[in-house]
Chains A and B, each alone.
Chain A
Amino acid sequence: MTTHNTDEQLLLERIRSGDKSACALCIDLHADTLYRLAYRLLGDEAEAEDVVQETFIKAFMAIDTFEGRSKLGTWLYRIAYNQALMRLRRKEPAKVSVDEPIVTAEGEQIPRQFFDWCCLPEEDFETAEARETLEAAIQALSETLKPVFVLRELEGLSTAETAAVLQVSQEVVKTRLHRARLWLRERLAGYFTEYARTQTGD
């Protein structure tokens, strides 16, 4: 049984006793990470802000039901994820991606792009356009793959923590992360290959 640090236990006790400064501290510790997850899932700052607010309201109201078997952050992420998912369901009942790389019957993604764009100068990866391309690529990840990618890759959660937030097995987390990475690679290859060609005047 994992023991969670005593700082967190103390914070929880203070929140349960109605200590507002503890609520403020909890927000300070977790608001940004929840905001980033919500923003990535919903693609909209105002909606992400709403999700963060809803998450803390729900969390503080339900704090007595949180038994501390997982980390507080994991629990908060789970609430935020579910809030975001509810909004997504209301907005987009079905989302179909075009230009997917080949997917086998087993759901494996087969790379099709083999131009080595790693050799581009570092500054080419730091342009506003490159950044926008990266951001757009992440936003375009499927609803299945994106949460795993955001939590593991961008927020740095472990496989186990990600599995706990999303309520899936660790194997599922590993598989989805790998697929997300391959998908992203394929998409970025399209952009950077074209970019490299324009640089060399091909």
Chain B
Amino acid sequence: MGLDIPDCRHLLGSLSEYIDEEASAEVCAEIERHMAECENCRVVVDTLRKSVLLVRQLPRRTLPPEARQRLYKSLDLGDFLTGKPPRPGTP
């Protein structure tokens, strides 16, 4: 079973820090040394990094325009929907 080996389990908890480049030099060295010998762990690290990259690249939703209009109106801010810059000191 791939990651039952104590070394693999020991390093598993540090992998997020490692891919975020927040791990100490010592931990990085340990992980990299281990990956050179353990293909399963090498795959886990690479696919973990890839998974994070993929979700970060997903398109980001924004509040739909109709929803924005409803929101402004419900808060009595309908005057500000036209996109005209607000007059300073508007009550």
Contact surface of A with B, Cβ cutoff 8 Å = 18-21, 23-25, 27, 31-32, 35-36, 39, 45, 49, 52-53, 56-57, 60, 108, 110-118, 125, 130-131, 134-135, 137-138, 153-154, 174, 177-178, 181-182, 184-185, 188-189
Contact (Cβ within 8 A) A53 B55: no
Q: What are 13 residue pairs bridging A and B, where the CB atoms are less than 8 Å apart in the complex?
A: A19-B89, A21-B88, A24-B86, A35-B62, A60-B75, A114-B2, A134-B54, A154-B56, A154-B60, A181-B51, A182-B15, A185-B48, A189-B47
Contact (Cβ within 8 A) A178 B15: yes
Query: By CB atoms of chain A within 10 A, which of B63, B74, B77, B89 has the most?
Result: B63
B residues within 8 A CB of A114? 2, 39-40, 43-44
Contact (Cβ within 8 A) B3 A184: no
Sample of 5 more A-B contacts, CB < 8 Å, known A19-B89, A111-B12: A20-B91, A24-B72, A49-B70, A53-B75, A118-B47
Among A25, A49, A182, point to the contact of B63 (Cβ < 8 A).
A49
Minimal Cβ-Cβ distance residue in B for A133: B54
Size band of the B side of the interface? 35 or more
Contact (Cβ within 8 A) A24 B77: yes
Known pairs A131-B58, A177-B16, A188-B51; A116 contacts B46 (CB<8 A): yes
Contact (Cβ within 8 A) A21 B90: yes
Contact (Cβ within 8 A) B61 A39: yes
Minimal Cβ-Cβ distance residue in A for B2: A114
Contact (Cβ within 8 A) A135 B54: no
Measured in the bound complex, the distance between the Cα atoms of B79 and A114 in whole Å is 57
B residues within 8 A CB of A23? 75, 77
Among B13, B47, B71, point to the contact of A31 (Cβ < 8 A).
B71
Minimal Cβ-Cβ distance residue in A for B60: A36
B residues within 8 A CB of A35? 61-63, 67
Measured in the bound complex, the distance between the Cα atoms of B46 and A114 in whole Å is 10
Confirm or deny: B87 has a beta carbon within 8 angstroms of a beta carbon on chain A.
yes
Measured in the bound complex, the distance between the Cα atoms of B62 and A177 in whole Å is 24
Minimal Cβ-Cβ distance residue in B for A150: B55
